[in-house]
Amino acid sequence: MIQGNVRSCEAMEHAIRVSGLQKRFGSVVALDGVDFSVPTGTVLGLLGPNGAGKTTAVRILTTILGHDGGQAEVLGLDVSREPQAVRERIGLAGQYAAVDENLTGHENLKLVGLLSHLAPKSIPARADELLERFDLVDAADRPARTYSGGMRRRLDLAAALVHRPPVLFLDEPTTGLDPQGRTGLWRVIEELVADGTTLLLTTQYLEEADRLADNIVVIDHGHVIAEGTSTQLKARLGATIVEIELADAACAERARAVLSPLGIVEVQPDGHSVELKANDGARVAIDVVRALDHEQLEPVALALREPTLDDVFLELTGHGAEEPATEDATADGRRRRTRGAA
């Protein structure tokens, strides 16, 4: 029976499909009709601030949580109708490194292997292979309580892979890691994806989504507010951003007036810098310099940059990506969850 399912799954175009997904916690709406799908073998970055509904979506797709409306399918299997079949095919590494601190690295992998119903005799070899791959061989026989944060995350990720799941869910895999640990984990994730694993990744770090994800879905307050590739999302803002620092606020105000025909110009919070978003690439720099020169405005500093996903996020949501979640009433009267769990 399992074999039959697999055949049809392999031909599947979308490994994950979510439509009209709804979830309420009491009066709090965590997901309000979310749609997205992940083509097999690709990486989807689910992006949003704390409380946006990212983790709720992951928990529904991994059968941990039921949903109130809409549909969620993994490899063509409905998560609420066939949770057991879904669980056999997915791996999950959550927000906290969910490893047993008193077990060694090797024992942790054995635990997950046994509970994933692998043949017991196949588990030790698989555990060794993963420990090797995640650079944990030296620590394999030490209790996980002696591991650093980065090592725990790697062990947690290894545990999610013991049963070779074709679909992997990573819920904020690098939150709380130092930059070194983060880039290390990114490299591992990139290797996994190269092997053909379908990955759904939630993150608050735009840089992470930018680096790892083929497609990005931005959710906020339980709604999808944008989707596309990172390039597409950035293009929504205009191709180029010119940052010009001037001597004082009066000059900045004059510069704003002079530059406004070239694109969207805003005076920055510091009062003496302006930022211009324009569509015609690096060429705009020449126009900027000419216009400023014509008005005899001398920039203190002038820089040209590509928009980051942070810019996109600010534009889409009206707030930054790492805004701390608060229990505030939003304009349409819905309340956001305070904890990161949403």
**Residue from the set 67, 106, 153, 163 that interacts with other proteins by CB under 8 A:** 163
The rounded distance, in Å, linking the Cα atoms of 80 and 67 is 8
Q: Is 154 in the site for other proteins (CB under 8 A)?
A: no
Q: Is 102 in the site for other proteins (CB under 8 A)?
A: yes
Q: Is 10 in the site for other proteins (CB under 8 A)?
A: yes
Judged by CB under 8 A, the stretch of 110-118, 201-209, 248-256, 278-286 that binds other proteins is 110-118
Shortest Å distance, C-beta 203 to other proteins: 17
Torsion of CA 250, 268, 230, 217, to 10 degrees: -140
- Which amino acid belongs to residue 47? L
Whether the CB-CB separation of 176 and 204 falls below 8 Å is answered with no
The rounded distance, in Å, linking the Cα atoms of 172 and 202 is 5
By CB under 8 A, what part of segment 197-256 binds other proteins? 197-198
Phi/psi region, residue 271 (left: phi>0; alpha: psi -120 to 50; beta: rest), is left
Q: Is 89 in the site for other proteins (CB under 8 A)?
A: yes
Whether the CB-CB separation of 274 and 242 falls below 8 Å is answered with no
Angle at the Cα of 197 (from 192 to 145), degrees rounded to 5?
50
Q: Is 340 in the site for other proteins (CB under 8 A)?
A: no
Instruction: Map residues 271-310 to x or -, x wherever contact with other proteins holds by CB under 8 A.
Output: ----------------------------------------
Residues forming the site for other proteins (CB under 8 A): 2, 6, 9-10, 40-41, 59, 62-65, 84, 87-90, 92, 94-103, 107, 111-112, 114-119, 122, 129, 133, 143, 159, 161, 163-164, 166, 192, 195-198, 341
